[in-house]
Amino acid sequence: MMEAIAFAFLAVTSSMIILVLWCWWLVKPSTRRWMTARGAGQKMRCLVVLGSGGHTAEMFYDLATLGAYRNRIHLMYLVADTDRGSQAKAEAFEAQHGRGPAQVKTVPRAREVGQSYWSSIFTTLRALWYTLCAVLSDPPDVVMANGPGTCVPVVFAAYVTRALCLRDVKVMYSESFACVDHLSLSGRLVYYFADYFTVQWPQLLELYPKAQYAGRLYPAEEVERCRQGSLPLPPSQLEALPTEQGDPGPPTAIATVGSTKFDELIRAVDSRDFLSTLQGLGIKRLKVQRGAGQYQPENLGSPSQPALPGLEVEVLEYSPDLPTDLRRAALVISHAGAGTILDCLLAGRRLVVVPNETLMANHQVQLGEALQEQGLLFCFRAHELLPSLKQADFSKVRSFPQQSSPVFAKFLGQTLGAGFHGPTTLAANGRSSCKPDLPCLGPKSS
């Protein structure tokens, strides 16, 4: 009910803003300088909307699939003014690809994690105004988004740009990996307006036929065949996870809550019994990233006074090296955030996720349980973590597919007007493989 009220309020307010801007444009013809078309030799301007935590991680995985197309586009980033982590990742991504400082625009956040829908109406309207100014002053050719609340005002601003005949901005929306059986609120709002819309779980295609599948668990050809024939998907064919895990150094376990507060998880690992269980798994070091929560561990000891001999324990609020540490850990016990899960699965880590059930519009339970059904990780509630960890059989865990979907790059190629050429072959698992210097675009369907 509150969702419908919020949507209606935003729709009415948005219509009024469009009307005012339209009238202003009619009496201010000098603003038509924005209508200057992109020259033949100019790069396509792409505005990338980054959100906190998993949304940003997923977006950079998508951008990494663009291959040679990166040389034909100019990336601009839009982040919430309170999101320092995403801005740093944008800088790192641009530096990695040798393109100088990232061009980053900041706007007020539309909705904070855990903020009520009612109060988010007013913060969204404020963000909408600043976003309109940011987009209209320097309109892009393409908007790329994947679900953070910040993206809704940006998509609205893109359509204002179209309505004012300033530029035909295309919208590419990739629904988050976290959305297993229903779309996010942002996805439901954007679905009818996006030019390209992708999902990463095939069951969503039945509810949203406009969407295209861009997941990793199944080859797109198999998903489309089952979709056309109304057939159930067979179990995904995944290999066993290699037994060699972690850094060459002492086997390390990491317990992390990500960028949110999750005291229940920290309480669950704060016991000598938990430390003994880790020792039984061969763990020699434990890092606990407790985030900004209130709970302070009392039973884990310290580096100088370990709670158990032979097990070094370190407790920290956050570390800039945490993403790297996660990819090297022998065992990760984490909240069920999509970004952390993707990082760990792609790095081949043994992973236990604990959904944070206190979050609003929470997808963590569905994501954790869906991946557990695929045999990729274990999903336990906080209160059952210790007994469940004692019974977990990590020898049955399977590997997550490394090959990313070509759909994101394909959409961008269509927008660029590029032909899909080059050496593309079909791998044994039905996925596409290409030379490293070309975007992996996959086989054409027959």
Domain with residue 259: its CATH number is 3.40.50.2000
How confident is the prediction for the chain on average, in pLDDT? Answer: 81
Local confidence band at 52 (pLDDT 50, 70, 90 cut-offs): confident
Asked if 366 and 293 sit in the same domain, the reply is yes
The answer to whether the beta carbons of residues 429 and 400 sit under 8 Å apart is: no
Tell me the pLDDT band of 22, cut-offs 50, 70 and 90: low
Q: How many domains does the chain divide into?
A: 2
Residues 182, 295, single domain; the answer is no
4 band by pLDDT with thresholds 50, 70 and 90: low
| Contact (Cβ atoms closer than 8 angstroms) between residue 269 and residue 384 | no
In this prediction, residue 446 has a pLDDT band, given cuts at 50, 70 and 90, of very low
Q: How confident is the model at residue 2 (pLDDT cuts 50, 70, 90)?
A: low
3-state class (DSSP) for residue 425: strand
Say what percent of the chain tops pLDDT 70. Answer: 81
Q: Please, is 379 exposed, middle or buried when counting C-beta atoms within 10 Å of its C-beta (0-12, 13-18, 19+)?
A: buried
Other C-beta atoms closer than 10 Å to the C-beta of 434 total: 17
CA-based nearest residue to 261, from 287, 296, 286 = 296
Whether 246 is in a domain gets the answer: no
pLDDT category of residue 27 using cuts at 50, 70 and 90: very low
**Is residue 443 predicted with pLDDT exceeding 50?**
no
Give the tens place of pLDDT for each residue, 250-301. 899 999 998 778 999 999 999 999 999 999 999 999 999 998 888 989 888 8
Predicted local confidence at residue 396, as pLDDT? 92
Burial grade of 74 (CB within 10 A; 0-12, 13-18, 19 or more)? middle
Share of the chain above pLDDT 90, in %: 40
Residue 127 lies in a domain: yes
Lowest mean pLDDT among 4-13, 89-98, 172-181, 224-233: 4-13
CA 207 centroid distance within chain: 21
Is 49 part of a structural domain of the chain? yes
273 and 213 in a common domain: no
262/124 same-domain check: no
Averaged over 178-197, what is the pLDDT? 92
Same-domain status, 256 and 222: no
Residue 430's pLDDT is: 39
| Interatomic CA distance for residues 294 and 53, integer angstroms | 20
Angstrom distances, CA of residue 145 to CA of 141, 284, 342, 351: 13, 41, 18, 28
- The answer on 216 and 260 residing in a single domain is no
Residue 399: per-residue pLDDT: 94
CB-CB contact of 277 with 248 (8 Å): no
The pLDDT value given to residue 247 = 65
330 and 214 within one domain:
no
pLDDT at 26 over 50: no
- Selection from 359, 400, 109, 93 nearest residue 236 by Cα: 400
84 and 229 both lie in a single domain: yes
Say yes or no to pLDDT of 176 above 90.
yes
Q: Where are the alpha helices (DSSP H) in 84-150?
A: 84-96, 117-137
Report if residue 443 sits inside a domain. no
Answer yes or no: do 270 and 331 share one domain.
yes
Same domain for 169 and 73, yes or no, is yes
Average pLDDT rounded to a whole number, residues 318-326? 84
Q: Is pLDDT above 90 for 180?
A: yes
Residue 156 has pLDDT above 60, yes or no: yes
Does 129 fall in a domain? yes
Domain that holds residue 145: 44-234+404-415
Q: Is the pLDDT of residue 433 over 50?
A: no
Beta carbons within 8 Å of 435's beta carbon, 6+ residues apart:
422, 423
Per-residue b/e over 26-45, b at no fewer than 16 CB within 10 Å?
eeeeeeeeeeeeeeeeeebb
Does residue 242 belong to any structural domain of this protein? no
Lowest-confidence region among 336-345, 356-365, 417-426 = 417-426
The rounded distance, in Å, linking the Cα atoms of 439 and 331 is: 33
**pLDDT above 90: residue 7:** no
pTM of the shown model: 0.80
Condensed to tens digits (0 to 9), the pLDDT of residues 380-431 reads 999 999 999 999 999 999 999 988 888 999 999 998 884 333 333 333 333 4
Give the pairing type, strands 44-49 and 103-107. Answer: unpaired
The two three-digit tokens of residue 330, written as one number:
């022998």
- Beta strands 212-213; 142-145: pairing state: unpaired
Sign of CA dihedral 131, 134, 139, 142: negative
- Predicted local distance difference test score (pLDDT) of residue 108: 85
CB 260 within 8 A of CB 291: yes
CA 156 to chain centre: 21
Q: What is the pLDDT of residue 33?
A: 43
Q: Give yes or no: residues 48 and 173 share one domain.
A: yes
| H-assigned helices in 230-301 | 263-269, 272-280
State residue 398's pLDDT score: 94
DSSP code for 78: E
Please check whether residues 57 and 151 belong to one and the same domain. Answer: yes
Adjacent-strand bridge partners of 48: 77, 144
